[in-house]
Structure 1
Amino acid sequence: MDDLDARLIDLFAVEPRIGVLEASRRLGVARGTVQARLDKLESTGVITGWGPDLSPDALGFPVMAFLTLQIRQAVADPGAWRGGHHAVAAHLAEIPEVLEAFTITGDGDMWVRVVARSNADLQRVIDLVLTDPAIDRSTTVIALASQIPHRVLPLARSASG
């Protein structure tokens, strides 16, 4: 990534509807250069999408929590229950309130960010998560306030220089 890539990312992050032609005018480069850079940033996985950022709170899910899961490891016997991180991740992907899941080091095996409509609804979401027999145990912490929302733009700005 160079300075032009960083300026291009910054411009589209601030004004996602700007368009390639206007971006080329503002950056002082050819339209083809902007399009080629955007194509390269997409093909290399730097830009992962162009969709709108959604607010779970505005969608009616103001409660956010983080679950730490302890997972039984997979069993090789085909007649036995399934297990392991990939199977649990597939289970979690079926639950709409699960926003993210990460395999982690430390006291747990997987960290899961979930949302719910209320604290009572959070119990329903946790119960859904725990229906997978590969999950041995879980702990939950509820987020009280967001201090720094998910962001990558400052990282992109620092990566170019």
Structure 2
Amino acid sequence: MSEEYSSDAAMRPNSSNDRRPRLDTYDRRMLLVLQRDGRVSNAALAQEVGLAPSTVHARLRRLQDTGVIRGFFADVDPAAVGRPLRAMIAVTLRSTARHRIRQFVESVIDLPPVIDAYFLAGGDDYLLHVAAVDTDDLRHLVEYLSAREEVAGTNTSLVFDHLRGSAPL
């Protein structure tokens, strides 16, 4: 028996102390269209969601100003730019180094192989999504991380494929 996942949490009204902006059906439709094509024109977006272009423009500005839309960017294929080997590296920091979390993040976020860094709850402290040139490049990165004084350990998993889901709207 297959069970479908469903959640109405995103559709519940905001509580009085919730600072998230209220999103109506039009906002959610706009966000879904923009996730498929972030370069869609204002006129095409307006037509697709059934609003006037001026209304869509104002709503987009509000979604950006309130932080719902954090930015627009190009989704670059790492393999196309010479970094075909992708991996996830779980990093555990020493308990005595918790005060150096910011320093650790600042030291790794701008390294060429690092695509994303996720701060975690649970057994690991960070999960780094990386794209390396080859296995030697990946090994060098893991050795660099492991040699850092604040790092207690790493665990590397190779990524065979990356599938993007839609955001929880």
Q: What TM-score do you get using the length of structure 2 for normalisation?
A: 0.75
Alignment RMSD: 2.2
Shift of the 24–94 alpha-carbon distance from structure 1 to 2, 3 Å rule, reads closer
Report how many aligned residue pairs link the two structures. Answer: 147
Shift of the 15–111 alpha-carbon distance from structure 1 to 2, 3 Å rule, reads closer
Unaligned runs of 5+ in 1: 76-81, 157-161
Q: Which residue of 2 aligns with 1:152?
A: 166
Letter in 1 for 2:116: E
Q: Which residue of 2 aligns with 1:132?
A: 148
* 1:91 and 1:132 in contact (8 A); partners too: no
Match of 1:47 among 52, 62, 69: 69
Equivalents in 1 of 2:53, 2:137: separation in Å? Answer: 49
Q: Which residue of 1 aligns with 2:133?
A: 117
Equivalents in 2 of 1:105, 1:7: separation in Å? Answer: 32
Unaligned runs of 5+ in 2: 1-22
Match of 2:118 among 84, 99, 102: 102
* 1:64 and 1:113 in contact (8 A); partners too: yes
Most deviating of 37-46 and 26-35:
26-35
* 2:35 and 2:166 in contact (8 A); partners too: no
* 1:69 and 1:135 in contact (8 A); partners too: yes
Q: Secondary structure at the match of 2:38?
A: coil
Equivalents in 1 of 2:103, 2:89: separation in Å? Answer: 17
Overall identity of the aligned pairs, in %: 24
Structure 1 position 131, deviation (Å): 4.2
1:18 partnered with 2:18: no
Q: Which residue of 2 aligns with 1:37?
A: 59
Equivalents in 2 of 1:137, 1:33: separation in Å? Answer: 51
Runs of 4+ in 1 over 6 A off after TM superposition: none
